Amino acid sequence: MAIELSGKPVAEKLLEQTLKTVEDLKKTDCFPTLAIIRVGNEQSSISYENAAIKTMQRVGIAVESMVFDEAASLETVIQSIRDLNQNKNVHGILVMQPLPETFSRYKVARCVDPTKDIDGITPLNLGLIVAEATHTLVPSTPKAVMALLEYYDISLEGKEVCVIGSSSVVGKPLTLMLLNAEATVSNLHVKTKDIKLYTQKADIVISATGVVELLKAEDIKDDAVVIDVGFGYKDGKPVGDVRYKEVSDKASAVTPVPGGIGVITTAVLAFQVAQASWKQCSD
């Protein structure tokens, strides 16, 4: 039976550090503020927004939410990002995914001021991962996965790791971070012919697709570590990409949903807003 890799202690550690930074910033009249832009009403984005607002409240970070109708134009959203870039009272900008299908993610990402890019979506901040720069702003979820692995002392050097999902906000940057940590990484996606061929050999399987209960016990080897990034809904309740019960009979360790990567992601987000505020307020 697998051990449960709870995200809570990992998040607590990050939030303690963040709270101290925010308190120090407030003493210098710097009031860290996060702006959230959401287009449409996708359920996992609303969950993230609500969870993020609660976490920010806990550490004293202010939040301004801007919600656009699904039919809003790309130009309107880009203009609001440009306004936030100029606004000295806003230190971090989070653009919720998914965006409407007609939007170019790249056109949106390149407009964000890299110093306010607390979700690491700009070409500059994504490129800095390839360059192996440290202390940069990176996508929160991949950083959350790396923080969980470090907290539970799960080494990566020389390990076979499978990442399912190749989005620019989770799968791709995570693959690069794992590679930087000297793992041998396979990145799988919709066009991968036989996912099992890779997952059944892997020491660590990380699933980030949003396909509810995609990963089964037969897909992994005995004693694998399984990280569930997915956040979907079944019968109105949050569930991940992993069939938790059957997979935990075979794996050595599994993250739960809820209570796993999600809680660390919001803590990383708060941490990065505090870091970005520190830089902007000391300039």
Ligand X SMILES: NC(=O)C1=CN([C@@H]2O[C@H](COP(=O)(O)OP(=O)(O)OC[C@H]3O[C@@H](n4cnc5c(N)ncnc54)[C@H](OP(=O)(O)O)[C@@H]3O)[C@@H](O)[C@H]2O)C=CC1
Alpha-carbon separation of residue 270 from 6, 12, 60 (angstroms): 19, 12, 10
Contact predicate 171/208, CB 8 Å: yes
Among the listed ranges 27-35, 82-90, 246-254, 260-268, the one in contact with ligand GUE (CB under 6 A) is 260-268
Q: Which stretch binds ligand X (CB under 6 A): 85-93, 120-128, 228-236, 244-252?
A: 228-236
- Extended strands (E) in the chain: 3-4, 33-39, 62-68, 92-95, 160-164, 184-188, 204-207, 225-228, 232-234, 237-239, 253-254
Tell me the HSE value of 7 on the side-chain side, using a 13 A CA sphere: 24
Q: Is 263 in the site for ligand GUE (CB under 6 A)?
A: yes
Nearest to 242, CA basis, from 208, 216, 209, 210: 216
Binding site partner of 252, from ligand GUE, ligand X, none, Cβ cut-off 5-8 A by kind: none
Using the rule CB under 6 A, is 244 a contact of ligand X? no
Taking CB under 6 A as the binding criterion, the range among 23-31, 61-69, 118-126, 230-238 that sits at the site for ligand X is 230-238
Name the binder of 165 from ligand GUE, ligand X, none, CB < 5-8 A by kind: ligand X
Q: Is 165 annotated as a binding residue?
A: yes
Beta bridge partners of 264: none
Selected from 112, 138, 183, 188, the binder of ligand X by CB under 6 A is 188
3-state secondary structure of 261: helix
Pairing of β 237-239 and β 232-234: antiparallel
Least distance (Å) from ligand X to the CB of residue 49?
12
Q: Of the listed pieces 62-70, 85-93, 129-137, 169-177, which binds ligand X according to CB under 6 A?
A: 169-177
Asked if 265 interacts with ligand X (CB under 6 A), we say yes
Pick from 111, 175, 118: nearest CA to 145? 175
Provide the mask over 148-167, with x wherever binding to ligand X is found by CB under 6 A and - wherever it is not: ----------------xxxx
d(C-alpha 241, C-alpha 149), whole Å: 18
Query: Which string of x and - marks every residue 127-156 that binds ligand GUE (by CB under 6 A)?
Result: -------------xx---------------
- N- to C-terminal Cα separation, the chain: 52
CA torsion 53-85-99-6 (nearest 10°) is: -40
* CB closer to ligand X out of 44 and 87: 44
The entry of ligand X, ligand GUE, none near residue 119 (CB within 5 to 8 angstroms by kind) is ligand GUE
Q: Is the peptide bond before 114 cis (omega within 30 degrees of 0)?
A: no
* Nearest residue to ligand X, scored by beta-carbon proximity: 210
To ligand X, the closest distance from the beta carbon of 43 in angstroms equals 9
Which residues of the chain form contacts with ligand X (CB under 6 A)?
44, 97, 141, 164-167, 169-171, 188-191, 195, 208-211, 214, 229-232, 261-262, 265
Which residues belong to the annotated binding site for NADP(+)? 165-167
Which residues of the chain form contacts with ligand GUE (CB under 6 A)?
44-45, 47-48, 51, 95-97, 119, 140-141, 169, 231, 238, 257-259, 262-263, 265-266
